[in-house]
Amino acid sequence: MASGETVSETRAAKTPAAASRVDRAPSAGRIPAGGESEPAGRTTIADGVVAKVAGIAAREVSGVHALGGGGARALGAIRDAVNATDLTQGVKVEVGETQAAADISIVVAYPAPIQDVAENVRQAVTGAITRLVGLQVVEVNVDVNDVHLPSDDADDDAESRVS
């Protein structure tokens, strides 16, 4: 990062402006209600924090079995086994000065209605990012890449017929 360059300017330089889904312009100063002045300073929230908030919110939705594609879930199972769960698995975010956009990849538990689960994920992620991070959410894309059947778990628990 060059001298005098802000984190936002560096991030904006790495991402083409035409491809950006979020507002990258610096926010205008605001005066809180009551006319009190705010202390000087700036809060910067890392993209990973927003991704983690989105991942946690999506996992809490009824009907979501897992996040991420097949390969990511396999790697996630290994991480879980060594107590290193990745809460951002299946989540990609783009964060600007005042806005955020998220792409969430989910596996829906059968027989949950897929459209309802996707909409509930969209609402949960939007609410969590807005409430906890304070950013306006401009879009949440939900990619349903698999349906988990209850019989899939039964196969894992069955005893092997060979030794």
> Do 97 and 26 form a contact (C-beta atoms < 8 A)?
yes
The predicted structure's pLDDT at residue 3? 47
Predicted confidence band of residue 155 (pLDDT cuts 50, 70, 90):
low
Tokens of 28: 């205008």
The predicted structure's pLDDT at residue 19? 74
Tell me: pLDDT of 97 over 60: yes
Residues facing 67 on adjacent strands:
106
Tell me: pLDDT of 22 over 90: no
The predicted structure's pLDDT at residue 6? 44
The predicted structure's pLDDT at residue 40? 86
Radius of gyration of the chain (CA): 20
pLDDT tens sequence across 32-51: 556 666 688 888 899 999 99
Q: What is the mean pLDDT of residues 111-122?
A: 98
Amino acid at 144: V
Helix, strand, coil shares of the chain as percentages rounded to 5?
Answer: 40, 20, 40
DSSP for 64-77, written as a single string: EEEES-HHHHHHHH
The predicted structure's pLDDT at residue 5? 46
> Who has greater pLDDT, 72 or 82?
82
Tell me: pLDDT of 77 over 80: no
Classify each residue of 4-43 as buried b or exposed e, where b means 16 or more C-beta atoms within 10 Å of its C-beta: eeeebeebbeeeeeeeeebebeeeeeeeeeeeeeeeeeee
pLDDT tens sequence across 57-68: 999 999 999 999
Q: Angle at the Cα of 48 (from 44 to 50), degrees rounded to 5?
A: 70
